[in-house]
Amino acid sequence: MPQITMKLEDYLRQHAEETPDRIAVICGDETVSYATLFQRVQARAATMPQGEVVVFRSSHTIDFLVTYFAIHLAGSVAAPLEHDTPEPLFQEISASLVGSTLPADSADIHYTTGTTGRSKGVIISHRTIIADAENLIAGQGFSRDLLFIINGPLNHLGSLSKIFPVVMLGATLYILDGMRDLNAFFRALDYPAPKIATFFVPATIRMLLQFGAERLATYADKIDFIESGAAPLAHADMLRLCELLPHTRLYNTYASTETGIIATYNFNDGCCLQGCLGRPLPHSRIVITDEGLIACQGDTLMTGYVNDPELTATILRDDTIYTSDIGHIDDEGMLRLEGRQGDVINVGGYKVAPTEVEDAALSLPEVKDCICISVAHPVMGQALKLLVVLADGHSLNKRQIALALKDRLETYKVPQLYEQVETIQRTYNGKLNRKYYFFMKES
* Mean pLDDT score, 27-51: 97
Q: Which range, 81-90, 292-301, 386-395, has the best average confidence (pLDDT)?
A: 292-301
Phi, psi of 88 (to 5 degrees): -60, -40
Contact criterion met (CB below 8 Å) for 260 and 302: yes
Strands 23-27, 172-175: parallel, antiparallel or unpaired by DSSP?
Answer: parallel
What pLDDT, on a 0 to 100 scale, did the predictor assign at position 86?
A: 87
Percent of the chain, pLDDT > 90? 74
Q: Dihedrals φ, ψ of 18, to 5°?
A: -90, -35
Residue 313 vs residue 229, higher pLDDT: 313
Q: What average pLDDT does range 430-437 have in this prediction? A: 78
pTM of the predicted protein model: 0.85
CB-based contacts of 106, cutoff 8 Å, min separation 6? 77, 123, 124, 125, 126, 303
Digit-coded pLDDT (tens) for 4-23 = 579 999 999 999 999 999 99
Q: What is the pLDDT of residue 115?
A: 39
Nearest to 164, CA basis, from 9, 4, 59, 303: 9
- H or E element at residue 149: strand 146-150
Strand 53-57, strand 77-81: pairing: parallel
Phi, psi (rounded to 5 degrees) for 36: -65, -40
Q: Is residue 264 scored above 70 in pLDDT?
A: yes
Answer yes or no: is pLDDT of 120 > 50: yes
Q: Which DSSP state fits 412?
A: G
pLDDT in tens, 365-402: 999 999 999 888 776 678 899 999 999 889 999 999 99
